[in-house]
Amino acid sequence: MSKNFKFIIEYDGTEFFGWQIQKDKKTIQGEIEKVLSRILNQKIRITASGRTDAGVHAFGQVANFYATTDILPEDLKKGVNSLIQNSIVIRKCCIVNDEFHARYSAISKEYHYYILNRNDPCAINRFFQWHIRYPLDIDAMSQCCQAITGIFDFKSFENTGSPRSSTIRQIFFFNISQPDESGLVFKICANGFLKYMVRNLLGTIIRVGLNKMTIEEFINIVEAKDRTKAGSTAPPHGLFLKKVTYS
Q: Of 53, 98, 137, 226, which is the active-site residue?
A: 53
**What 8-state DSSP symbol labels residue 85?**
-
Strands, DSSP E only, in 32-182? Answer: 47-48, 57-68, 88-96, 106-117, 130-132, 150-153, 168-177
Q: Is 153 a catalytic residue?
A: no
Cα 172 to Cα 108: distance, rounded to the nearest angstrom: 9
Strands, DSSP E only, in the chain? Answer: 2-11, 47-48, 57-68, 88-96, 106-117, 130-132, 150-153, 168-177, 183-190, 239-246
Q: Which residues contact 199 (CB under 8 A, 6 or more apart)?
A: 53, 113, 233, 234, 235, 236, 239
Q: Which residues contact 230 (CB under 8 A, 6 or more apart)?
A: 156, 157, 200, 203, 204, 221
Give the pairing of strands 2-11 and 88-96.
antiparallel
Which active-site residues does the annotation give? 53
